[in-house]
Structure 1
Amino acid sequence: MNEHLLREPAPIPALWADTRATGFTMASDPLTCSLLRTLAAAKPGGRLLELGAGTGLSTAWLLDGMDAGAHLTTVDNDPFLLAVLHRHLGHDPRLTAVCADGDPFLCSLPVASFDLVFADTWSGKYRLLDEALALLKPGGIYVIDDMLPQANWPEGHAEKVRQLLDTLDGRTDFHTTQLAWASGMVLATRRA
């Protein structure tokens, strides 16, 4: 299989150029983004949530997979990074981009209101995991990445990852699959 045959969404080259110009180095892996697009396409008319928008690279992939009736809410606490996202994706009526701290924003959302949650920051992943999972409707998919060792991990982070994986694996209300692929992904689907 050829990774170079990903069919990038049209905004990606310009988003990458602006992302590099900002110095932002935490963008999601293109393989991860390709899977996000596929999962978004599996939720026609769905409500999607992205925690940790960054400059909008993964946002662009999610939007590319969504149909006209779907809606994506994305949140990040950095207005400088969100300005890049707005410049390239802000015209899309299916997108709501919010500049806020992830923890209180996550806690403000109604339970069972999303079909897919991509947690790409500490909020909803290492903090407030139960709250993030409670946002999913039956059949809703929780997605995280960066579960394989990364060069930018701080001291002791590997143990946090192991604890998170163990916690997700132990949940009986979700079917969970760990993928040693891309940056290391986990997909968890809420059982009906």
Structure 2
Amino acid sequence: MNDTPNTFPTVLPTLRVAARNAGFTMSCEERTGSLLAVLAAARPGGRILELGTGVGEGTAWLLSGMDQASRLVTVELDSAVQQVAREQLGSDPRVTFAAGDGGAWLEAYKGELFDLVFADTWPGKFTHLERALELVAPGGTYLIDDLCPQPGWPDGHGSLVKRLLAELEGRQDFRSVRLAWASGLLMAVRSA
């Protein structure tokens, strides 16, 4: 079976060129992106949080799956990198961009819970995990990627990943599954 996506967001080639030009190498892997689009499509009128906008490849995948009533908040520390996403995707009224530290954003957020949380950066995954999980609505999904060894992992990062996986799989309030696919994923659904 070929697991390459057969449809792509139309803006993806432009975002990939911008990522290359900016030297940004941490964009969402396309199989992960296709899963994001499916998860977004499964939540009509859904509220979605993306932690780690980057240049907006994951954002584009999420938007491609969302219906017109859905809303996406995407947070990125590097405002220069996020500016690419703002330029290419900012005219879409379904997305709100937040520039700043994801951990600080998570701590300050007081709004509604999210149907899907995609943590594609340290805050919400390796830091501020509990806060990110608190923001997942009952029946909602929490997704993380980059769990298989990646080029550029700092020394000791593998042990952080093992600890994170053990913590998530030990929770009673989430049902989780590891996916040895794409960059290595874990998907967890909050008990209703």
Moved over 2 A (4+): 1-6
Deviation at 1:48, TM superposition (A): 0.2
* Count of matched residue positions in the alignment of Structure 1 and Structure 2: 192
Q: How does 1:111-126 map to 2 (within 5 A)?
A: 113-126=113-126
Q: Name the amino acid aligned to 2:88.
A: H
Cα distance in 1 for partners of 2:67, 2:4 equals: 24
Which residue of structure 2 aligns with residue 51 of structure 1?
Answer: 51
The change in CA–CA distance for 1:130 and 1:112 in structure 2 (over 3 A counts) is farther
Q: Unaligned 5+ residue runs, structure 2?
A: none
TM-score, length-scaled by structure 1: 0.97
Q: Unaligned 5+ residue runs, structure 1?
A: none
Cα distance in 2 for partners of 1:111, 1:174 equals: 21
Deviation at 1:31, TM superposition (A): 0.4
The change in CA–CA distance for 1:5 and 1:101 in structure 2 (over 3 A counts) is closer
Which residue of structure 2 aligns with residue 168 of structure 1?
Answer: 168
Classify the secondary structure of the residue corresponding to 1:182.
Answer: coil
Cα distance in 1 for partners of 2:111, 2:22 equals: 35
Cα distance in 2 for partners of 1:139, 1:17 equals: 37
Which residue of structure 1 aligns with residue 17 of structure 2?
Answer: 17
Deviation at 1:155, TM superposition (A): 0.3
Matched, 1:30 2:35: no
Deviation at 1:103, TM superposition (A): 0.8
The change in CA–CA distance for 1:150 and 1:83 in structure 2 (over 3 A counts) is same
Classify the secondary structure of the residue corresponding to 2:140.
Answer: strand
Deviation at 1:6, TM superposition (A): 2.8
Deviation at 1:5, TM superposition (A): 4.1
Matched, 1:67 2:67: yes
Deviation at 1:2, TM superposition (A): 2.5
Cα distance in 1 for partners of 2:153, 2:55 equals: 20
Deviations along 1:78-137, one digit per CA (max 9) or x if unpaired, are: 111111001110000000011111111011123761100000010000001110000011
Cα distance in 2 for partners of 1:170, 1:4 equals: 32
CA RMSD across the alignment: 1.1
